[in-house]
Amino acid sequence: MNHIKSCFFLLLCITLLSGCNTENTSTSNSSKKEESIETKKKLNVKITLDKEITNNKIIILSGKSNLPKDTKLRIRLEQKNSHKNSIVNTAVQKDGSFEYKFFNEDDTVFDDGKYFIYVETLPVLEQAEVIQEIFGDNGSNLTGPQISGDSELKATAEIDLKINNSEVITEDETLPKDKDAEEEKNEVYTSEEVEDNSEEDELDMIKYDAEIEIKKIIEENYKTTSIEKIEINEDMGASEKNKLIALVYLSFDALNTSKTAYNMVEMYSDDLAANIGKDNDTVNQIAVFWKVPYIDEEETVAKFSYERSGKQMKITDKVSSLN
């Protein structure tokens, strides 16, 4: 009897020890899993910049990064010890690259001196939703030596360059110069240089925001559709400034009959116009052009045009060879 009790007690101890070990193992695995997930969320940002100067008239900035596709960037070209600067927005491509060309509208050379180009990610709330998830609240998931900020973290990079026009020989230098004409030219140039380009920069930003918003609506809602290109132009006939016309070129990639394809592209066009009309009051007109490769690989087979009416878009024209 005592022998049986001893065996039972031994089995009970083994069972308890095994349970504790399993619990510890489970807890350990769970902790490791949580730690792995947390580590996976962090993005160690790496940005490298390069520049190219063409005849001192064009400054080309190119960059490579591990930032996700469509990350919005702000690029600022600034001349040292001067109030002159240019600010533009751009986006990261699928391979992590980005590029922008700076030039003067009148095709003149940049002034002599030292320049800096600064690149930084736009605030998290101005990024697309998928980018916001990667960056985390206030950029909390961004890490690395190129991350800075107090209330919100952002990725930054910079590069400097020097313009020396004495090293550039132009055809004008081989001709005799008229002193009065040269002075007048310099006065005009100086006036143009100090002109405030804030309105142009504002329009470019509005165009960019409209393009990103259209792209986001399409990618999130129309799964059988691919984007060929999106053109955003200023509506020159609008009574208000900074109003836009959007030209959207799409491809319906599903294998359907002509009738079904027409019904789908019409529905998608109506939905896109309705969303833009509701969410973006800068777009006054939108035209959606469709290709259906299963029906015709080359030609545009449908076009739907819309015009703003209050907070809605009303259809003004529809043309199709599908129905």
Domains and CATH numbers, the chain: 43-190 (2.60.40.10), 216-320 (no CATH)
Of the candidate ranges 44-53, 195-204, 247-256, the one whose mean pLDDT is the lowest: 195-204
Radius of gyration, CA atoms only, the chain: 30
Contact 76/22 with Cβ under 8 angstroms? no
| Structure confidence by residue, pLDDT tens digits, 15-28 | 555 554 444 444 44
pLDDT of residue 229: 92
Residue range 24-44: mean pLDDT, rounded:
52
Contact 85/198 with Cβ under 8 angstroms? no
Instruction: Go through 95-120 and write b for each residue having 16 or more CB atoms within 10 A of its CB, e for each that does not.
Output: ebebebebeeeeeebbbeeebebbbb
Residue 131 binned pLDDT confidence (cut-offs 50, 70, 90): very high
Q: Please name the amino acid found at residue 29.
A: N
Residue 297 binned pLDDT confidence (cut-offs 50, 70, 90): confident
Phi-psi region of 16 (alpha: psi -120 to 50; beta: other; left: phi over 0): alpha
Contact 48/59 with Cβ under 8 angstroms? no
pLDDT of residue 44: 93
d(CA 9, CA 3): 10
Of the candidate ranges 125-129, 183-187, 222-226, 257-261, the one whose mean pLDDT is the lowest: 183-187
Query: What percentage of the chain exceeds 90 in pLDDT?
Result: 45
